[in-house]
A and B are shown apart, each in its own frame.
Chain A
């Protein structure tokens, strides 16, 4: 009896392990994997590409004197049912805009996640008693931070629609705008829609 159970205990894990699907890396360059109801990296890539192409083609970042605009990323709201870090969108857009040579992004101010806390922290340090510990001319001086001229803000939101008895339709809207901070005028804006249909039984988050 004991021998029988020992064999079962030894063989069963091997069988279960053998049936588990093999883990594979995603070929992110040529991914032909199935679509998913939730937003995945392919959707963010598409949205980013459309947004950046539209921004660059619009000429919104062309400055009359040939210099670069200083741009801040303001708030990008996640109004979907998924836990999305909106930086998944904004980080790529910032990266592409900086690489384009058209703008300089600021880390001094911005929405959630955009500012670098060290910018403010080093100034707090300068004004504290601990400043004696630092070589004076290595601390940031007053009036050195460059204020942003343009701001990027937006929203990602989701609509769930009953398609038929078996299917649901989920629409994801990516909305972004670029505003002139001094005048408040919107210089550019775009909406990108990513729509999916799938089983009603699947929860899209």
Chain B
């Protein structure tokens, strides 16, 4: 029914040839450049961070990056509207995955979050985020009002809440939290009245307080407390932040040199190939390396926003906005975490952190954004 409500004209072979080529040539290649450079930097940093470890983290990540690039190109070739049409099915499959992982999933980092056979598999919650963005984009693009109504917000909230709660009970609180920026970013772009936003913020604050006192486990509460007073527990949960800040700070301007970081190489740094990989980079490449990588993320942001700005329809804009929000939330939270600006929780850094399904999600994200860009002229 959604297809019929939107003014889509069938692609005619005669008119498509030259605009499609033009679209390819004028694609926002900057986004792809950022993706490739970040992925390469990620591989190099993983190599340094896991030099002391026996198993081949680098080889596995090279595989994931290769597979990711392939998927990126594949998704680019698929019309994003096709993906959105599949969103209901994807969402259902994702939910099934989340339920399945709760029953037969493997423990990873204290949460029953990993589904697979042997070493092949991944976290359903990561892929679910993409399904949520697609579903939300599809749903929110239906309205023809300048601002979202309460009904849209409520339904949108429901679309996000179900997988979010399922992820939270794994329990992977950090992963669950990352559903929120999707909704937030897409609501802001779709339009919301100031008083509605204010009401949502109040409700959110109350829900947050309720969660802190009734929904968190002791260790999670401890992390929040540690964040508020980092020096109090240096041997326990303050240790990670402390060691991470030492790693980052000791990098100074030019860094200690590739594979020369004492914090990383001597294992003072926890989770150094996953959540704290940015601290490894900061230690070994210094502020120059940090600024360079943040610059690549900025390049990604700018290109994604530009793609949104020239997308051909409301759905495309919302889709890119949701994906950008998801991507940016990971980047901002993770980098803020390694210097102790936010509480520690297991949120990886896109393209840098080690991890299969997370890497695939990031490549798919970029692929969908580029798919939107590739079809910007269609039916304009």
Query: Are A and B co-members of a single complex?
Result: no
